[in-house]
Amino acid sequence: MVLTPEKQYSVNWNPLCISPVIHTGFRCPRAVGGARTMEPDTQDSSPGPQTVEDAIEEFLNSGTKSGNYKSNLRSVLEKWYGWLTDRGITELNAVDKRVMANYAEHLHQRITAGQTPTIDGGISSATAWTYLDYISAFLDYCVEWDYIPHNPAQKGIVKGERSWIAAQTNS
């Protein structure tokens, strides 16, 4: 890479090293054991994925999720994403308490359907809890990485909607 005079560079001396550190927006992979060429830094200052779909993919590929847990998590999050897109919601910032309360009501309808022998597609209350727990874990991840300011699955209105699940479980 050739340094051109049009660019502004700052040089800081690291007292623990002999050579200066040049802040150019590029990183030198050699500093972490890579090649000697300089490559553009692929990280930017954007807050991360803005779509629910991108954030789900990032979440599923992060950490140590594997096996049946990862495939069940993927299945639940993909179904939830399908439910969101059916309502025109694709952006993370559009997922709020009202959306989550509506989703909780949707799960409630599926529990009711599960208690009716003539209706297909029903679920148990334990399954509904699992769905909400998986989605809440995903939204916690989004909060942790500053993609959204808070977890809408943990707010009061959704907790109120969750109370019917507890009532269904105890009956």
Same domain, 64 and 106: yes
What pLDDT score was predicted for residue 37? Answer: 41
Residue 144, pLDDT score: 94
Q: Are residues 102 and 68 in the same domain?
A: yes
Number of separate domains in the chain: 2
Which amino acid would we find at residue 99?
V
In a domain, 45, yes or no: no
Give the burial string for 81-120 (b: 16+ CB within 10 Å, else e). beebeeeebeebeebebebbbebbeebbebbeebeeeeee
- CA distances to 134, 139, 142 from 59, rounded to whole Å, are 11, 9, 8
Query: Domain of 14?
Result: 10-40
CATH number at residue 131: 1.10.150
Hunting for tokens 């009711």 — which residue is that?
A: 112
Q: Are residues 32 and 69 in the same domain?
A: no
70 with 117, same domain: the answer is: yes
Most confident by average pLDDT, 7-21, 35-49, 121-135: 121-135
Same domain, 107 and 137: yes
| Model confidence at 22: pLDDT above 60 | no
Residue 67 sits in the same domain as residue 26: no
pLDDT band at 80 (very low <50, low <70, confident <90, very high): very high
Global model pTM greater than 0.85? no
Predicted confidence (pLDDT) per residue in 31-63, tens digit: 444 443 444 444 444 555 689 999 999 999 998
Whether residues 35 and 57 fall in one domain:
no
State whether 132 and 71 are in the same domain.
yes
pLDDT score of 122? 83
The residue among 154 and 93 whose pLDDT is bigger is: 93
**Same domain, residue pair 35 and 59:** no
